[in-house]
Amino acid sequence: MMGHAAKALPFVSDEERAHWHDQALWFVRLKRDRQAESIPEWEALRESASAIKAHTLSRLADYLEEFERNARANGIQVHWARDGTEHNTIVHRILAGRGITRLVKSKSMLTEECHLNPYLEAQGIEVTDTDLGERIVQLRREPPSHIVLPAIHLKKQDIGELFHKELGTAQGASDPSYLTEAARGHLRQKFMAAQAGLTGVNFAIAETGGFVVCTNEGNADMGTSLPPLHIASMGVEKVIPRTKDLAIFLRLLARSATGQPVTTYTTHFHGPLRGGELHVVIVDNGRSAILHNETFRRSLACIRCGACMNTCPVFRRSGGYSYGYTVPGPIGSLLAPLRNPSHFGSLPFASSLCGSCSDVCPVKIDLHHELYAFRQELVRQKIVPLYKRLAMAGLSWVLMTTWAYCLASRLMRWFVPRLPRALVYGPWNPWGRQRELPQMPRESFRDLIKKEPT
Amino acid sequence: MSSRDAILAALRRNAPSAMPLPEAPAAVAFADPESQFAEAFTSVGGKVIRVASLGNVNTELGNIESYAQARSIASLIPGIGRANVDLAALTDPHQLEGTDVAIIAGEFGVAENGAVWVPGSALGLHRAIFVVAQHLFLTVPASEIVHTMHQAYDRIRFEHLGFGVFISGPSKTADIEQSLVVGAHGARSCTLFLVG
């Protein structure tokens, strides 16, 4: 199993691009800061959001039942899926039952998680992702590299080239306005031809049986107000108790995500289009199992704003693909190994534990402490490789044993400057692959302090 | 056991102990919510024009290039705009494609973020109009500006309202190298008349 560091190699090899990526995301982080600072009650909002999520998670089944009851009363058809396969089957059954072969989608990380697109395509349904960033990565046959900014890993020249090939734009043209205009024309045709629209769900409201979808482009609105059929896919954790709770989450979401005061469109669905159908598919896919886990259940409070990615020094410098999971970054480094610890065991280590993610999280998930706790869990489960476990146990013993520490320090100070470079920087020193060891001091701190007059 | 029952049972089995449901914290109040709203709406790429009464909207519209050049105009406010799209006669929302201008009445505005509440009832037979039209014109009474989203949701009632949308400026994207481009899928421009 290839770990995070190995997967990051191609990204970090292009230093200039990695630097650009780092700066582009830091710019979004700064925009977020300006918005957060403009709200005097920002911290109190985060507290409330966190407490509402904690409350909702303690009564999730009740709220989902309430949502279902009210949604049905609104004329919405509600389906339940235990896992990704069942979700995909339900969506396909709805589409196939109505002879639908052309579907437009707005952004939904859940359908990425369930691998809906390849499933539907294999059954002859044309699926068009309509968020510009998602369309770009779809045309490149790639997954999104960031949950809010799906094509953040690409430069405009890459997109110019892609659109020249796929949409017939002028060769060498890379002006973002020109390329966006071309995509607008291309996707208008897709919207006009679509027989159904699929969206995610940002928030589902138990009290009213409706749900909210947020976009800046208006693609969710195009996709759900032209064709008569709308399918919305939501994870079980998306429900919130009351309409007034929406105010708290919407005040936090766009400000945290992109540094905007609110998204351009915040659309509330409480029933089907006139003469149409509205289906909601509620998906578990491992979430109820995460709820059981006392240490990590808070990860279910995530509202998918991406702020932890934008601020993470590791994400910014290693790119979304280095995580190998639908949701990358600090929150993904919990969600992925919760799903499959042996496959994603390197992700909790893809963090400097600096705590910046926890500081920006709008629902106050204690991300860096959870990542740290996950490392210990992985050691307990023996998923961390043996050499690393032995090295950690050895180091731990040395650091706790005075005479061993003194001896080790003396040996290092004597040997390291005298040994040939090839020996010090051999394959057994991965730390030294990109770094120089510090100059060895002649005397230890202990020696120095002994010489000090008391 | 059905998937529904299995999921609900698992969620109940694994639920943590009960936690209280908190209320929202006290929120900011603006000294001048009207100008805060106008500033916020402008900051998200929209344009605000103040008019003394709804009647003045027609005069102002004539001065706006995108309106002056529009061939196909749909208005959902009786008497406002030289409407030539007969919305009631359209049997299919796809027929809205090609509409240059839509004029729609917003119910209220939110000062903190420039969002305008447009209930489904303000969109007529085909709600697609607000997103299909190339240019969007909204009206909001100046007396109907609330401070924050908290007050906004205090006044929205979803009973018998199948649809409602907050609109804050024109459609936009920054998916190509984080360069902001206005006019993604929805309106290329969004002009708001603050009335009164």
pLDDT score recorded for residue A372: 97
Mean pLDDT for the stretch of residues B6-10: 98
Q: Which of A23, A49, A57 is nearest to A255 (CA)?
A: A49
Please indicate, yes or no, if residue B87 is contained in any of the structural domains. Answer: yes
What is the reported pLDDT for A233? 98
Q: Determine the distance in angstroms separating the CA of B120 from the nearest CA of chain A, rounded to an integer.
A: 9
| Chain A positions in Cβ-Cβ contact with residue B173 (cut-off 8 Å) | 132-133, 180, 216-217
- In this structure, the number of other CB atoms found within 10 A of the CB of residue B91 comes to 8
Has residue A429 got a pLDDT over 90? Answer: no
Q: Which residues of B touch A28 (CB under 8 A)?
A: 178
Q: Is pLDDT of A451 > 80?
A: yes
Query: Which residues of B are less than 8 Å from A179 in CB distance?
Result: 176
Q: What is the pLDDT of residue A146?
A: 97
Q: Which of A93-107, A207-221, A353-367, A413-427 has the lowest mean pLDDT?
A: A413-427
Give the mean pLDDT of chain A: 96
Residues 90-119, chain A, touching B (beta carbon < 8 A): none
DSSP string, A2-31: --HHHHHHHHHHSHHHHHHHHHHHHHHHHH
Task: End-to-end CA distance of chain A: give it in Å, rounded.
Answer: 56
The answer to whether the Cβ–Cβ distance between B153 and A156 falls below 8 Å is: no
- A361, A32 contact by CB (below 8 A): no
Residue B151 in any domain: the answer is yes
Q: Helices marked H in A275-351 — which ranges?
A: 287-292, 307-311, 313-318, 329-339
Reply yes or no on whether the pLDDT at A25 is more than 70.
yes
Type of residue found at B91: T
CA distances from residue A149 to A25, A75, A191, A307, A403 in whole angstroms, order as listed: 9, 34, 22, 11, 53
Tell me whether A51 touches chain B (CB under 8 Å). Answer: yes
pLDDT digits (tens, 9 = 90+) for B9-41: 999 999 999 999 999 999 999 999 999 999 999
| Distance separating alpha carbons of residues B169 and A428, to the nearest angstrom | 57
How close, in Å, is residue A66 to chain B by CA atoms?
12
Q: Please check whether residue B107 lies inside any domain of the structure.
A: yes
Q: How many C-beta neighbours within 10 Å does residue A369 have?
A: 14
**What's the mean pLDDT in A44-61?**
98
In a domain, B6, yes or no: no
* Interface predicted TM-score (ipTM) over 0.90: yes
Give the structural domain span for B173: 30-195
Interface touch B14/A291, C-beta < 8 Å: yes
Residue B8 has pLDDT above 70, yes or no: yes
Q: Do A226 and B128 touch (CB under 8 A)?
A: yes
Q: Do B10 and A289 touch (CB under 8 A)?
A: yes
Q: B47-87 pLDDT, tens per residue?
A: 999 999 999 999 999 999 999 999 999 999 999 999 999 99
- What is the reported pLDDT for A2? 84
Pair B110, B166: CB distance under 8 Å: yes
pLDDT of residue A430: 82
Nearest-Cα residue of chain B relative to residue A54? B19
| Assigned domain for B185 exists | yes
Mind listing the pLDDT tens digit for each residue in A373-405?
999 999 999 999 898 899 999 999 999 999 999
Q: Does A241 sit within 8 Å of B21, measured CB to CB?
A: yes
**CB distance A288–B10 less than 8 Å?**
yes
Sheet of strand B115-119, all strands in order from the earlier edge strand to the far edge: A239-240, A203-205, A210-215, A265-269, B163-167, B115-119, B108-110, B145-146
B83: CATH: 3.40.50.10420
Residue A344 CB burial class (10 angstroms; 0-12, 13-18, ≥19): buried
Q: What is the pLDDT of residue A433?
A: 84
CB contact under 8 Å between A222 and B11, yes or no, is: no
> Quick one: closest CA in B to A132, which residue?
B175
Comparing A261-275, A420-434, B144-158, B179-193, the range with the smallest average pLDDT is A420-434
Contact: A218, B28; criterion CB under 8 Å: no
Structural domain count of chain B: 1
Question: Which chain A residues contact residue B174 at CB under 8 A?
Answer: 149, 216, 258
Give the bridge partners for B136, in sequence order: B102, B190
DSSP for A40-100, written as a single string: TTHHHHHHHHHHHHHHHHHTHHHHHHHHHHHHHHTT-EEEEESSHHHHHHHHHHHHHHTT-
pLDDT at position A210 is 98
Chain B residue with minimal CA distance to A281?
B4
The partner residues of A98 in beta bridges, in order of sequence, read none
Nearest residue, CB atoms, B28 vs list A39, A74, A289:
A39
All domains in chain A, ordered by first residue: 1-38+303-384 (no CATH), 56-285 (3.40.50.10420), 398-451 (no CATH)
Would the CB atoms of B127 and A243 count as touching at under 8 Å? no
Q: Out of A382-386, B2-6, B165-169, which region has the weakest mean confidence (pLDDT)?
A: A382-386
Distance (Å, whole) CA A85 – CA A281: 12
Residue A408's identity, in one-letter code, is A
Lowest mean pLDDT among A108-117, A124-133, A410-419: A410-419
Residue B22's closest CA among A238, A2, A46, A71?
A46
pTM: 0.95
pLDDT band, residue A242 (cuts 50/70/90) = very high
Q: Look at A216 and B173 and tell me if their CB atoms are within 8 Å.
A: yes
Query: pLDDT, tens digit, for every residue of A194-239?
Result: 999 999 999 999 999 999 999 999 999 999 999 999 999 999 999 9
Q: Is residue B180 in some structural domain?
A: yes
CA distances from A182 to A136, A172, B74 (A): 12, 14, 25
Q: What residues in A contact B21, CB-CB < 8 Å?
A: 51-52, 55, 241
B17 lies in some domain: no
Nearest to A361 by CA among A132, A36, A61: A36
CA distance linking residue B169 with residue A135, whole number of Å? 23
- Among the partner residues B24, B176, B186, nearest to A48 by beta-carbon distance: B24
* Residue B174: alpha-carbon gap to chain centroid: 20
A1 pLDDT tier (thresholds 50, 70, 90):
low
251-310 of A, contacting B, C-beta below 8 A? 251, 258, 260-274, 282, 284, 288-289, 291-292, 294, 297
Q: Which residues of B touch A245 (CB under 8 A)?
A: 24
Indicate if the pLDDT at residue B108 is higher than 80. Answer: yes
Q: A163: distance to nearest CA of chain B, Å?
A: 12
Q: How much is the pLDDT for A217?
A: 97
